[in-house]
A = this chain, B = another copy of it.
Amino acid sequence: MPSPITDLSKLCIHTITTKPWRLEEAVSRYAEAGVGGITVWRQALAGHSPSAAGDLIRGAGLKIVSLCRGGFFPARDALGRQAAIDENRRVIDEAASLGAPLIVLVCGAVPGLPLTEARRQIADGIAAVLPHAAASGVKLAIEPLHPMYADDRSAINTMKQAAAICAEVRSPWLGIAVDVYHVWWDPDLEEEIERAGRNGWLSAFHVCDWRTPTTDLLEDRGLPGEGCIPIRQIRAWVEHAGFDGWNEVEVFSRTRWAGDQAQFLRDITDSYLKAV
């Protein structure tokens, strides 16, 4: 087990976590709290040019960790697949203007489209946009999503599947984002983290917790310590595999969004020090 974390320098918060806050407020509040980094969700950029948003964030002393999110490659027809590729090129441009070194990919799925076909289209879509990512100096990270999202969010549901694409594509511009919420149950997790580390694929580490009972498939995530995920154990595996990047708190919680965000931010930093 790694030692508990004693400061917030490696804490990154996803803007979606404090969704009610506009970007300016999130940035100033995170900075004020001593948080080191921020992952920007695209909707938080509404009303800003990405480069101005980047200046705003850097001006407040925060590091931009990644842009969320690209992906959603599979589609029922060629037109849809091309539209997805075009959209991902725009996301890459946005990340470059923002100054985000990494884009998290939620790879996509289409209800009724066979998963094998969706998986093929995802690998092809990534290969299609990767040259533009490389030319833009932006890395892409496949985030395996929990199998409960295999219907319409991602056909990539395990570290092993993400690794298969990384191994096929073989580019320093493609890696894996490990989100404990999605992968904690996987019996191969430790082994696959180790392998991803060995291959240089570990690109991001997202934390939150699995509540019992979970009352909503999307927006009932808990803060670290509010659920059953062995977050510190998984952090140990990730660090042992050579990852020394950010610990990103990404929580979607309807209950939390309905409450006071300043208090929520205090709970985030407390839970981070106690349970990550």
Is A146's beta carbon under 8 Å from chain B?
Answer: yes
Chain B contacts of A227 at CB under 8 A? Answer: 111, 151
Stretch in A5-13, A124-132, A211-219 touching the partner: A211-219
Contact flags A213-241 to B (C-beta < 8 A → 1, else 0) = 11101000000000110100000000000
Copies in the complex: 2
Given contacts A158-B187, A187-B158, A213-B217, contact A148 B146 (CB under 8 A): yes
| Interface residues of A, count at CB 8 A | 28
* Nearest Cβ on chain B to A123's Cβ, whole angstroms: 13
Is the C-beta of A93 less than 8 angstroms from some C-beta in chain B? no
Distance to closest chain B CB from A239 (angstroms): 19
Closest residue of B by beta carbon distance from A154:
B185
Could you list 5 A-B pairs, sorted by A, with CB under 8 Å? A146-B147, A150-B185, A151-B210, A151-B214, A158-B187
Q: Is A115 an interface residue (CB 8 A)?
A: yes
- Residues on B with C-beta less than 8 A from A228 are 111-112, 151-152
A157 at the interface (CB under 8 A from B): yes
Q: How far is the CA of A213 from the CA of B153 in the complex (A)?
A: 11
CA A231 to CA B148, docked complex, whole Å: 17
A2 on interface, CB distance cutoff 8 Å: no
Q: How does the 8 Å CB contact mask read for A225-264 relative to B, with 1 for contact and 0 for none?
A: 0011010000000000000000000000000000000000
Residue contact B230 to A114, C-beta cutoff 8 Å: yes
